[in-house]
Amino acid sequence: MKMTNKHFDVVVIGAGHAGCEAALASARLGCKTLLLATNLDTVAFLACNPSVGGTAKGQIVKEIDALGGEMAKNADKSLLQMRMLNRGKGPAVFSPRAQVDKNAYHYNMKRTVENTPNLFLRQGEAVDVTRNSDGTFTVKTAVDLQYTCKAAIFCCGVYLNSRTIVGQCVRDSGPNGFANAKYLTASLVKLGFNVSRFKTGTPARVKLDSIDLNKTIEQRGESDVAPFSFVTDSIPATKRSCYLTYSTEETKRIILENKHLAPIYNGSINGVGPRYCPSIEDKVVRFADKERHQIFLEPESEYTCEFYVQGASSSMPADIQEQIYHSIEGLENVEIMRDAYAIEYDCIDATQLNATLMSKRIAGLFFAGQINGTSGYEEAAGQGIVAGINAERYVHGKSPFTLRRDNSYIGVLIDDITTKENTEPYRMMTSRAEYRLILRQDNADLRLTELGRQIGLVDDCRYAKYLRKKEQISLAERELSKVVSPKIYGPLFEEKNEPITGAGLTVDEMLRRPNITAKDIQTLGFFAGIDSDALYQIELECKYRGYIEKEEEAIAQASKLENKLLPENIDYSKIEGLRIEARLKLNKIRPRNLGQASRILGVSPADIQILIVYLAQNIHN
């Protein structure tokens, strides 16, 4: 299909991780979609760390894949190595993390976008979005091209009015020297959106040949980690290693003596930075009692000498940066290839959006990614696929699609940013998910594939794999009640240091033993022909059944509030008994149900009880 006119169902502004997922979802679901990028070299560009996944973020990548998104498949295609984080903490927080080739990641995603039917990729800076009298929108670019659409999705990343900062050197630019978006913020303000100023940062890139690797600890990838995508058969062998090193007392001395030159402390930076990903100077000041900090050296690509210095982002002057990096173990003679920098940018208050990521005031306007005040590629992509799905559903008059806190990390993320007023960049962590044992990375397909299929994003091949896994789990479950005599399980238990009771045990009872795995039981003649991923599900369900049942009970209790819908036109200022702060917050955020209302900062349990009474007396379903 050729782009014969400038009329589209959906226009996506920004082609980063949120924009790509949004545009792919919209186009794959049948909408004629335009994806605008300020520069085609920024398509799915990994502007910061050359990795995908990590604690809680790996779960989000798996969920995107289960829904029919692209990030997981693209990461698998671009893989340098993969590891499973938090192995010592239990399966509730196991999180896959991959080092990827950032050049290959960009190339592979751009090629996917270019070859997707209904999707048109165009370089152009959006400078204005206006709402037309018929409810459509007009998107105007810097070169005065105009595109009309039924729905628009803002996925602007960190490009809105952005500036990069290295000491006293301040550049009017986006990340990595790319051009920023200078005019779109004014359009958002004109449309009535509240805008904030946030910041983030990135470390220097250094030359591999100048690192003394003998002073570091090599970290190779792990071979027993499943791929990100449930349709990828296996991961390749490690292509490049990472290396662990540490800052020193000299690092601390240099930073403290030059603290007055740090833009974050001398007033040069106005934006609010991420609390959970601080710069090296911020870490040294905030954690003055620590003698050293971990630094990870990560490859940017398979075919470059550039290494990313994870844990040492900075906005210090370039000459001070050199001193800081030269004080790190193994980096005494390191060559800096790209300076570290901080970046400030505009974003909106996401409480102006509902759970579909559409504006509460202007139907058809959606927002996804760092423009919503979040940080991270994965958080952006998770929002992107939800916004893309809902833009298509809005265009075609379908019911909205939302995810919940009890079925996905993406649901937790969207609920948090649309309910709570975030005063700093929001980063997903496992601690934010109250049902994390149920929301594991390994069962994302079991949780969300059916939803992706109903939406229309999960294809036949992907769905067939999912059905096979479910069938395998069902077959394995039939064997759990079988009784095994001590004569059969005795040698295995003796080998695994498990006490032998002398009585028969069911397969289920055997699996509950801490040292016994499903693969061990397979050696006894059970679970014949069952795949390893299905075996893993059975094992976890048996070993953690009590805890899982407790979470399910908590979900059932919470659903009583989640199912109590609040009228859209309710005026909280007129409800007697509500505290003034609660009235103000409830009228501003307009929660869709009592559960969401209970999570708003400033709304107390007593306020919720008053709302329950109000609904009982005034709302008749």
pLDDT tens by residue, 478-508: 999 999 999 999 999 999 999 998 899 999 9
pLDDT at 355 over 60: yes
Residue pLDDT, tens place only, 440-471: 999 999 999 999 999 999 999 999 999 999 99
Is 555 inside a domain boundary?
Answer: no
Q: 51-72 burial by CB neighbour count: b if 16+ within 10 A, else e? A: bbbbbbbbbbbbbbbbbbbbbb
CA distance 412 to 416: 6
Give, to the nearest 10 degrees, the angle between helix 318-326 and helix 249-257.
160
Q: How many CB atoms lie within 10 A of CB 135?
A: 11
CA R_g for the chain = 26
Query: Which tokens in the block code for residue 544?
Result: 């953690």
Average pLDDT value for the chain: 94
**Residue 138, strand partner residues:** 130, 148
Non-local CB neighbours of 93 within 8 Å, separated by 6+ positions: 55, 86, 430, 436
327 with 233, same domain: the answer is yes
pLDDT at 620 over 70: no
**pLDDT reported for residue 263:** 82
Single-letter residue type at 363: A
The more confidently predicted of residues 36 and 288 is: 36
Residue where a domain stops, chosen among 342, 366, 391: 342
Give percent of the chain with pLDDT exceeding 70: 97
* Residue range of the domain that includes 543: 463-549
CA distance 12 to 157: 12
CA distance 564 to 552: 19
Residue pLDDT, tens place only, 415-443: 999 999 888 999 999 999 999 999 999 99
The band of 54, judged by pLDDT with boundaries at 50, 70 and 90, is: very high
CA distance 118 to 123: 17
110 with 42, same domain: the answer is yes
Residue with the two structure tokens 């001070």? 320
Is 52 inside a domain boundary?
Answer: yes
Residue where a domain stops, chosen among 410, 431, 455: 455
194 with 210, same domain: the answer is no
Residue 273 is given by DSSP the state P
CA distance 377 to 106: 13
Report in angstroms the alpha-carbon separations of 321 from 285, 312, 328: 16, 10, 11
Query: Which tokens in the block code for residue 581?
Result: 């702060």
The band of 285, judged by pLDDT with boundaries at 50, 70 and 90, is: confident
CA distance 48 to 46: 6
Non-local CB neighbours of 542 within 8 Å, separated by 6+ positions: 480, 508, 511, 512
Query: Which tokens in the block code for residue 573?
Result: 């200022």
In this predicted structure, which of 29-43, 85-99, 251-265, 384-398 has the lowest mean pLDDT? 251-265
3-class SS of residue 298: strand
Residue pLDDT, tens place only, 310-328: 999 999 999 999 999 999 9
Mean pLDDT on 540-554: 95
Is 106 inside a domain boundary?
Answer: yes
Give percent of the chain with pLDDT exceeding 90: 91
141: alpha, beta or left, given left = phi > 0 and alpha = psi -120 to 50? beta
531 with 604, same domain: the answer is no
CA distance 423 to 441: 29
Residue with the two structure tokens 């994390």? 436
52 with 188, same domain: the answer is yes
The band of 2, judged by pLDDT with boundaries at 50, 70 and 90, is: low
Which stretches does DSSP call E strand in 448-519? 483-484, 505-506
pLDDT at 159 over 60: yes
**pLDDT reported for residue 467:** 97
In this predicted structure, which of 63-77, 266-280, 314-328 has the lowest mean pLDDT? 266-280
Is there a contact between 279 and 263 (Cβ–Cβ < 8 Å)? no
**pLDDT reported for residue 274:** 64
Is 556 inside a domain boundary?
Answer: no
CATH number at residue 608: 1.10.150.570
Q: How many CB atoms lie within 10 A of CB 305?
A: 16
**pLDDT reported for residue 334:** 98
Is 1 inside a domain boundary?
Answer: no
In this predicted structure, which of 92-96, 266-270, 328-332 has the lowest mean pLDDT? 266-270
Would you say how long the chain is, in residues?
621
187 with 229, same domain: the answer is no
209 with 322, same domain: the answer is yes
The more confidently predicted of residues 236 and 332 is: 332
Predicted TM-score of the model (pTM):
0.95
363 with 498, same domain: the answer is no
End-to-end CA distance of the chain: 48
Mean pLDDT on 140-159: 97
**pLDDT reported for residue 25:** 98
Give, to the nearest 10 degrees, the angle between helix 532-543 and helix 460-477.
50
3-class SS of residue 260: helix
The more confidently predicted of residues 291 and 21 is: 21
Residue pLDDT, tens place only, 565-596: 999 889 999 999 999 999 999 999 999 999 99
CA distance 324 to 280: 9
Which stretches does DSSP call E strand in 453-588? 483-484, 505-506
**pLDDT reported for residue 268:** 66
**pLDDT reported for residue 568:** 86
Closest listed residue to residue 544, CA positions, set 466, 442, 467: 442
Mean pLDDT on 525-548: 94
132 with 242, same domain: the answer is no
Query: Which tokens in the block code for residue 247?
Result: 């800052």
272 with 161, same domain: the answer is no
Query: Which tokens in the block code for residue 297?
Result: 């050296």
The more confidently predicted of residues 233 and 368 is: 368
**pLDDT reported for residue 193:** 96
Virtual torsion, Cα 167, 285, 203, 430, nearest 10 deg? -140
Total tally of structural domains belonging to the chain: 4
Is 112 inside a domain boundary?
Answer: yes
530 with 402, same domain: the answer is no
**pLDDT reported for residue 112:** 98
31 with 159, same domain: the answer is yes
Is 538 inside a domain boundary?
Answer: yes
pLDDT at 556 over 80: yes
Helices (H), ranges, 37-173:
57-67, 71-77, 102-114
Residue where a domain stops, chosen among 308, 342, 376: 342
Q: What is the Cβ-side half-sphere exposure of residue 69, based on CA atoms within 13 angstroms? A: 35
Residue with the two structure tokens 């970046």? 343
Residue 295 is given by DSSP the state E
